[in-house]
Structures are given as C-alpha cells and as structure tokens.
Amino acid sequence: MKIQHLRFLAAVVEYGGVIKAAERLHLSQPSVSAGLKALELTLGRPLFDRSIPANRPLRLTPAGRRFYRHAQEILRQCDAARADFLGEAGEQRRIRVGVLNTLPHEAIAALVHVVAKQAPNVHLEVWEASADRVAGWLAQARIDLAWTNVSDLVANARVLWREPLVAVVTPDHPLAQAAGPISVRDLGTHPFVHRSSCELDAVGRAQLKAAGMTLRVTVRAERDELAFRLIRNGKGMTLAPRSLVPDDLVAVPVSGLNVARTIGLEWREDLDLMLQGLVVDAMEDVVSLMPVSAETGGQSKRARQDGAGPR
C-alpha cells in the first residue's frame, strides 16, 4: 500500500471526484484513477459506490468510509513524523541527487518542484552527469541518491521504469508511415545520427550484427539536442529511449532490437530512511507524469490523455 495512493483517496473524497482532485494535485486524471484502482486491488474490494449516476460526486461505500478514516490518520501521522524529523523550527536538511543527463528535463524539474512542495526544509541539490560519472559520485558518497540506469540485482535500489530504444524520425519520414514496428534491417537503409550517449549496449550491437546490418553513421552528436535538431532538418534518424523523443518527432518501434534501459533510484547504504522515503515518494509523483510505456509501470502519453479507471 502506497502513501501516494492514500493521498489520492483523500483528495478525491475532499474534492468530490477524480478530475478536481487531479487538478489540485497537479497530476493527470488517469494517474489518479490508476492510483485508486491499485489501492482497491490491494484492499480487495471497491472503495466507491459506482452505481450512482456519473454526474454525481463519488460516494464511498460503508467499508470505504471506514478505511478513509484510517487513511486520514495514517496521512496525519506521516506528515507529523516528517515535519518532526525535518524540524519545523527551521533546521534545514540537505540531500544531493545525481541525475543521468539523458533523462527528460521536464522530469528533473518536476522532481525539484515536488520535493520543495513536500519538504520546504529540505535543500535538494541536483548534480547532472553521465551514467559513469553519477555512479562514481555515489560510490564516493559525494551524492546521496542516483537517478540513473540501475540493475534489478542492486540491493539499495528501486526500479522506476523500463523503456525500449525506438527509432526517431520526422513525421514525413518513410519509416514513420509504417503501420507497425519496422525491421531492424530498416535501420541500415537511412542516414544515421549517432548520439554519444546512445544506450545501444553490447547485446544491441550483437543483434544488429546478427541481422547483417551496419548503421550508416553520418553524424556523431555529443548533445541530444543537436541530434534531434539534425533529424528535424532531414539529416536522417537515430535511436533513443522513448521518453526522450520530442513531441514533434515520431517514435517508431523496432522489431528485432530487444534493447531497453532500466531507470531507477539507487542510494547510499547509510542514507537516512526518512530522506530516502522523501525522494522515493516525490519520484512516484514524477513518474506518473513520465511518457513511458505502460508495461514499465508508468503510463504512456496516449494512455494518460485517453483516461482509464475510476472517474
């Protein structure tokens, strides 16, 4: 059971529906609906009476009302514990997070905003760098947490999402017209802009080799912004994680290229549990806004727009 989902429940009850609650929480309506659905699945029964007309405010079931009272007390105690720990008298705690430099800028900014809102007495420092450099900072205890590529096997880590590498092209590119995924062999038929931070690992390169395909690299770009600018200017295509694809370009799935990056949080073994929990809670809010594949635990941009779950 997640504290975030209890906050969703409290907001929906207070404001009379998911749409108004989402507006107050600065989240998408499908994100709040999905959180309520996950909470109901955890509890094993509905919280709301959905037999009432759709134009009426949501109404708790009798069991839902009892649970809501418990949820209010849990949230009150959590807020009190965090306030006591962080110090209402003005004592400021510092937490330093290393951030992978290929994460969407909007997500990084959202993390800073959410932490500032949830814990005004915490000073958050963000250090952005490559995956290797962030890992080095964490090993040297120069940062407290790392938001970066992680492994399922690491003890002090939490996977946030997994996302595939996709081909990135302009809307009028021939590959954008495909009805479904393109073939891995299609990657070799067009000029290729190579991102220096490309997540194409040894397994991916082996898959390209097995397909007898060689990328026609015409540009090696240090900055992702330059790579995407060149693509807009008709200089070819690239490969990138789905969450990095700009809104004006098209992400095309590639059949036969089974490469994905795993993004998560990793922290120092001796990190205070309250500070760790603060960042993890904030990250749940951030991930709900991420344009990642639904199978990763997040929601796609289309899924969030279409809406699902409780109203």
For residues 44 and 39, give the distance between their C-alpha atoms in angstroms, rounded to a whole number: 9
Q: What is the three-class DSSP state of 4?
A: helix
User: Is a pLDDT exceeding 90 seen at residue 227?
Assistant: yes
Q: What confidence category does residue 75 fall into, taking pLDDT thresholds of 50, 70 and 90?
A: confident
Q: What angle do CA 210, 226, 262 make, to 5 degrees?
A: 50
Q: Start-end ranges of CATH 3.40.190.10 in the chain?
A: 93-161+262-296, 164-260
- Higher-confidence position of 275 and 152: 275
Give 186's contacts (C-beta < 8 A, 6+ positions apart).
Answer: 167, 175, 254
Closest among 181, 178, 166 to 237, alpha carbons compared:
166
Q: Both tokens of residue 304?
A: 């969030």
Tell me whether strands 254-255 and 182-183 are parallel, antiparallel or unpaired: parallel
50 half-sphere exposure, CB direction, 13 A CA radius: 9
pLDDT value of residue 229: 96
Distances (CA, A) of 143 to 151, 153, 204, 254, 267: 18, 21, 31, 36, 8
Q: What confidence category does residue 91 fall into, taking pLDDT thresholds of 50, 70 and 90?
A: low
pLDDT value of residue 298: 38
For residues 93 and 147, give the distance between their C-alpha atoms in angstroms, rounded to a whole number: 19
Closest among 81, 130, 122, 128 to 109, alpha carbons compared:
128
Percent of the chain predicted with pLDDT > 90: 31
pLDDT value of residue 179: 79
For residues 139 and 133, give the distance between their C-alpha atoms in angstroms, rounded to a whole number: 10
Helix (H) or strand (E) holding 163: strand 157-169
Q: What confidence category does residue 2 fall into, taking pLDDT thresholds of 50, 70 and 90?
A: confident
Q: What confidence category does residue 292 fall into, taking pLDDT thresholds of 50, 70 and 90?
A: low
In the block, residue with structure tokens 């949820």: 71
> Which ranges in the chain belong to alpha helices (H)?
3-15, 18-25, 29-43, 62-86, 105-118, 131-139, 202-210, 224-232, 273-287, 301-306
CA dihedral 159→248→173→293, nearest 10 degrees, is: 20
User: Is a pLDDT exceeding 60 seen at residue 310?
Assistant: no
User: Is a pLDDT exceeding 60 seen at residue 295?
Assistant: no
Q: What confidence category does residue 289 fall into, taking pLDDT thresholds of 50, 70 and 90?
A: low
pLDDT value of residue 234: 92
pLDDT value of residue 307: 38
pLDDT value of residue 297: 38
User: Is a pLDDT exceeding 80 seen at residue 102?
Assistant: yes
Count of residues in the chain = 311
Asked which of 44-53, 74-83, 257-266, 268-277 is least confident by mean pLDDT, the reply is 74-83
Pick the CATH number of 93-161+262-296 from 3.40.190.10, 3.40.50.410, 3.30.365.10, 3.30.70.360: 3.40.190.10
pLDDT value of residue 232: 96
Q: What confidence category does residue 304 fall into, taking pLDDT thresholds of 50, 70 and 90?
A: very low
Q: Both tokens of residue 185?
A: 């062999």
For residues 79 and 82, give the distance between their C-alpha atoms in angstroms, rounded to a whole number: 5
Q: Can you give the pTM of this predicted structure?
A: 0.62
The domain defined by 3-86 carries CATH number 1.10.10.10: yes
Q: Start-end ranges of CATH 1.10.10.10 in the chain?
A: 3-86
Cβ atoms 243, 104 nearer than 8 A:
yes
Tell me the CATH class for 164-260.
Answer: alpha beta
10-69 residue pLDDT tens:
888 888 788 888 877 777 788 888 888 999 999 998 998 877 766 667 788 889 888 988
133-181 residue pLDDT tens:
999 999 999 999 999 998 876 778 888 888 889 999 999 999 998 778 9
User: Is a pLDDT exceeding 50 seen at residue 290?
Assistant: yes
Percent of the chain predicted with pLDDT > 70: 86
